[in-house]
Amino acid sequence: MTELILHHYQGSPFSEKVRLILGFKDMSWRSVIVPAILPKPDVMALTGGYRRTPFMQIGADIYCDTALMCRVIDTLNPAPPLYPATTSGVAEIVAQWADTTLFWTAVPFTMQPAGIAHVLAGATPEAFKAFGADRAAMSPNLRRATLTDGAAHLRTYLARLEHLLDDGRPFLLGALPSIADFSAAQSIWFIRLAPPVATLLDAYPRLHGWYAKVNAFGQGRFTKMTSGEAIAVAARGATAATSFTAEVGLAQDDEVTVTPTDYAHDPVAGHLVGLDPQEVVIARRDERAGTVHVHFPRIAFQIKKQVTATV
């Protein structure tokens, strides 16, 4: 099998979600470290403009957004399942909540002045400033909760998770781990990076035991790769077959852009080569990476047909 390459950086919670899943699946993978802020020229060569972290590469296929990446990992390596039959549907609904509502409560709360120094430990004042400016530009519509509101919201969410574990179950939805555990764990992992903020977690002992179990899955086995090597893998790699289910106004090979609808609204342009309820796939060409297929989840992405001017 062509190797799985994860493009990520250490301090990224969504990357941690995927690293833990690779541990849960006991997989071997290649690790490419990407910059945490723009510019990211080697990322752009592969994704065509999508800047968020992580993304995954298999040959000349590029998978954006962890919702899709996790599905692909589970298909490649079905056991143990990320979407066990007993909780399927519910697991994805809880995961989506954790990836959005919980994440956007936990992260800004952790980045309060007492926490940010730990999260960005060792950063120069210039790097601090650059990080702040990058994230402000990436999510201009983010309305930050006050510290008081943020703490209150987070406590309520953590209490709900704690409550799920009241009956002694080992994982959030029961006896088996599922995608819900990994999506929730990334926020707990991030809060724990900042010990003064992480004291908030002390009130939730069951959550503590649950997190230890998820964390114990580890990260699988990885070896490092440079971004240049990953681009070379794409240039000589093949793409996987895609399926196409027509949607109103969209036909195969249409020239389109695909853009996240929540934040980091950077459009990626290409030809529509795959479409189904799970994913949208576009083909694009890059000088260095050659022809790549860039995959996005269908949910939370906008597909826009490009209108060619006629004279």
Ligand X SMILES: N[C@@H](CCC(=O)N[C@@H](CS)C(=O)NCC(=O)O)C(=O)O
Residues contributing to the site for ligand X (CB under 6 A): 12-14, 36, 51-53, 65-67, 99, 138
Which amino acid, one-letter code, is at 191? I
- The Cα–Cα gap between 222 and 194 comes to 26
Nearest to ligand X of 99, 165 (CB atom) = 99
Nearest to ligand X of 24, 165 (CB atom) = 24
Residue 295: CB minimum distance to ligand X, A = 12
Residue 264: CB minimum distance to ligand X, A = 6
Nearest to ligand X of 165, 294 (CB atom) = 294
Residue 175 CA: distances (Å) to CA of 88, 233, 262, 273: 13, 40, 33, 39
Residue 1: CB minimum distance to ligand X, A = 23
Residue 246: CB minimum distance to ligand X, A = 26
Residue 238: CB minimum distance to ligand X, A = 25
Nearest to ligand X of 25, 51 (CB atom) = 51
Residue 310: CB minimum distance to ligand X, A = 37
Nearest to ligand X of 104, 157 (CB atom) = 104
Nearest to ligand X of 126, 166 (CB atom) = 126
